[in-house]
Chains A and B, each alone.
Chain A
Amino acid sequence: SQQGEEDPQALSIQEGENATMNCSYKTSINNLQWYRQNSGRGLVHLILIRSNEREKHSGRLRVTLDTSKKSSSLLITASRAADTASYFCATDPLSGGYNKLIFGAGTRLAVHP
């Protein structure tokens, strides 16, 4: 399968709560990236974490990477209704060539006011 796996598939929380999404992948990677997609729209790049990094922060986002378990997590703290979107992880595999990105199945996040 081309895709990695993400869980949960869907997540519903209240504003102010934290949202955690997980991503697992299959092959060795150069880096892992997280994207956001609003319904029917294009992708917005959120954050990139390299294979030699373990944790990265950007504003309310915190990403971790465990290459031994081939997994990553995205934490959104103090969520807002505007964070409602689908979130995808994408891996840049070592053997892929041409910087091909392999996308996970995505997590649909709903943040309720």
Chain B
Amino acid sequence: GAVVSQHPSWVICKSGTSVKIECRSLDFQATTMFWYRQFPKQSLMLMATSNEGSKATYEQGVEKDKFLINHASLTLSTLTVTSAHPEDSSFYICSARAWTGGRDTQYFGPGTRLTVL
């Protein structure tokens, strides 16, 4: 089946530093990947749609200069949280879009827990 990995699985950083999270589709190519954020005991909120070879599309209220997305290849999208602050602490989940069995499907990564001190 389609597998999506994320790295790192968790990260702790100091306030003001930048953190990069990778999302990889391991056995398929994904022209579109999605980035979600999930606060404790809450649902997933879509942050942005990452398109290979073009600029990401951000959801309303998400700062594009703070959450930099780069989809440089068909198997890799990165999310960089710039100048992270404690309020950015969250669980970040990516998904990759693929055609499987004639159906458009999203496959989710295991998530990255970011803690900003």
Do A and B interact? yes
Q: Which range contains the number of B residues in contact with the other chain?
A: 20 to 34
B97 to chain A, nearest CB (A): 6
| Number of residues on chain A facing chain B (CB within 8 A) | 20
Q: A42-B109, A42-B110 are in contact. Are A103 and B43 (CB under 8 A)?
A: yes
Q: Are A2 and B97 in contact (CB under 8 A)?
A: no
A3 to chain B, nearest CB (A): 6
In the complex, which residues of chain B have a beta carbon less than 8 angstroms from the beta carbon of A99?
A: 32, 97, 104, 106
Q: Is B113 interfacial (CB-CB < 8 Å)?
A: yes
What total of A-B pairs shows CB separation below 8 Å?
53
Q: Is A57 interfacial (CB-CB < 8 Å)?
A: no
Q: Are B43 and A104 in contact (CB under 8 A)?
A: yes
Interface string of A63-98 (1 = CB under 8 A from B): 000000000000000000000000010000000001
Q: Is A113 interfacial (CB-CB < 8 Å)?
A: no
State which of B44-52, B69-77, B79-87 sits at the interface with chain A. Answer: B44-52
Q: Is B93 interfacial (CB-CB < 8 Å)?
A: yes
In the complex, which residues of chain A have a beta carbon less than 8 angstroms from the beta carbon of B57?
A: 98
A26 to chain B, nearest CB (A): 14
Please name the 6 residue pairs, one residue from A and one from B, whose CB atoms are nearest each other, closest first: A42-B110, A43-B108, A103-B44, A103-B43, A42-B111, A99-B104
Query: Which residues in A have some Cβ–Cβ distance to B below 8 Å?
Result: 2-3, 35, 40-43, 45, 48, 88, 98-106, 108
